[in-house]
Chains A and B, each alone.
Chain A
Amino acid sequence: SAVISQKPSRDICQRGTSLTIQCQVDSQVTMMFWYRQQPGQSLTLIATANQGSEATYESGFVIDKFPISRPNLTFSTLTVSNMSPEDSSIYLCSVRGSGNTIYFGEGSWLTVV
Chain B
Amino acid sequence: GAGVSQSPSNKVTEKGKDVELRCDPISGHTALYWYRQSLGQGLEFLIYFQGNSAPDKSGLPSDRFSAERTGGSVSTLTIQRTQQEDSAVYLCASSYRQGAEQPQHFGDGTRLSIL
Real complex partners, A and B? no
